[in-house]
Amino acid sequence: MDHDNSLLGTLWRHLEASGFQTAIQQHLPPGTDLQQGFQEFKLLAAKLGLEAYEAEVRGVPLCTAVGDEQNFPTLFRIHVGLRDVFTLEIPKELQGWAEQSMALGASSSDEFQKHLGRMATDSTLAAGERALARFALFELLCASLFFADYAERGQLAAFGVERCDLEALAQKNLTLWLQLPAEQAVEVRPLNIMLAGAMESLMVRGEIIQQQVLTWNVDMVAEAQQRKILERRLQEMNTPDALLIRNAVAGLGLLDEQYVTIETLQEQHSIVLGGTKRNTLDQRFKRIKVSIADGKWPKRKSKAIIDLALPQFPTEDEE
C-alpha cells in the first residue's frame, strides 16, 4: 500500500494518517477486515472510473452524467450519496476523529488536490484512472459549492439557484482548468483555482438577480422568502428527515423537483436510506409531520460534516 500511487492508494494513506482506521476499528465487530473493505472500495472506484470515462467519450459532461441514474448509475449514486453524507449526523464514536480531521485537514488537502491535479492531466495514465481523478475533482468542487450554498442559509434557493446550477458551475470551471497547459495545471492547487472561478461567477449571478428582485411583485417576494425559510429548515435536519420532507414538499408542487415514491427515494439515496425498512420510514415521516404541525421542525441532534466545516451555525443541542 505504501507504494500504491493510485488515487485510492493515496486516499487510503490519508485515512491512515488521519487515524480513521483506528477510530472505526474499535467500533466494528471483532474480526472485521478493513483491508477487505478497501478491496471492495477499489472495485467501486473502478466502476466510477469506467463510467466517468464513458461519459467523457460520449461527450456527456459530468454535471449531466451524475444526474443520469439510468446510464451512469454508479456516478449518480456516489454523487447523491456524498451530498447526503454532509448533513448526516456523525456517529458519536467517530465525532472525535471527524473534528480532529477537519482541524488538521488543510495541509493534507493541499497535497491531495495537487496529486489529483497531476493524475487528471497525466496522459500516460490509464483512461479510467485519469477519468476517476477528474470525477474526484468535480465532486470536491461540488462539495465546496454545496458548503457555500449552505452558508447562504437558503438565500441562493430563494433567488432560484438550484443544485443543478451549482453542478453546471463546477463542470464549467473543471473544463476551463483542464484546458490549461499541462505544465501550468500541475503547478497549482486545482480545487482552489476552480473554486475561485466558480465563486466569482456565483457572485456576478447574484448581483444580476438582486437587480431583478427590484422588479418583483409582492407575491414573488413572498414566495422567495418562503423558499428561503424552507431551505434553511431542511439544512438543519438530519439527512433522512430532510429527504422525506423535501420529497413530500415536491409532491405538493412547492419545489421545482420531481416527487418520487418512497421506494424510488430509497434507491436514489441508498447510502443513507437503503438499509431502512419501508415501514420504519413511514413511521418516521408520520412523526415528522406531527412535529411540524406542532410548529417544531426537526433538527440534527448531533454534528454533521457540514457543522464541522461551518461551525458558526449551531446545531440544536448548542442553541
Per-residue pLDDT at 56: 97
Which carries the bigger pLDDT value, residue 178 or residue 32?
Answer: 178
Among the listed ranges 43-47, 82-86, 150-154, 300-304, which one has the minimum average pLDDT value? Answer: 150-154
CA distance 265 to 171: 26
Contacts 24+ apart (CB under 8 A), 209-215: 209/159, 209/160, 209/161, 210/159, 213/159
Residue 181 C-alpha cell reads as: 497547459
> In this structure, are residues 16 and 108 in contact, taking their beta carbons and an 8 Å threshold?
no
Alpha-carbon 12 to chain mean position? 20
pLDDT in tens, 133-191: 999 999 999 999 999 888 888 888 888 888 899 999 999 999 998 888 766 666 667 87
Domain boundaries, the chain: 7-24+34-213, 220-318
Statement: residue 201 has pLDDT above 50: yes
Higher-scoring residue by pLDDT: 4, 265: 265
CA dist 116 and 309 (Å) reads 22
Q: Shortest CA distance to 260 belongs to which of 272, 246, 273?
A: 246
Identify the residue whose cell numbers are 500516460. Answer: 124
Question: Which of 35-39, 118-122, 161-165 is predicted with the least confidence, judged by mean pLDDT?
Answer: 35-39
- Number of helices followed by number of strands (H, E) in the chain: 17, 0
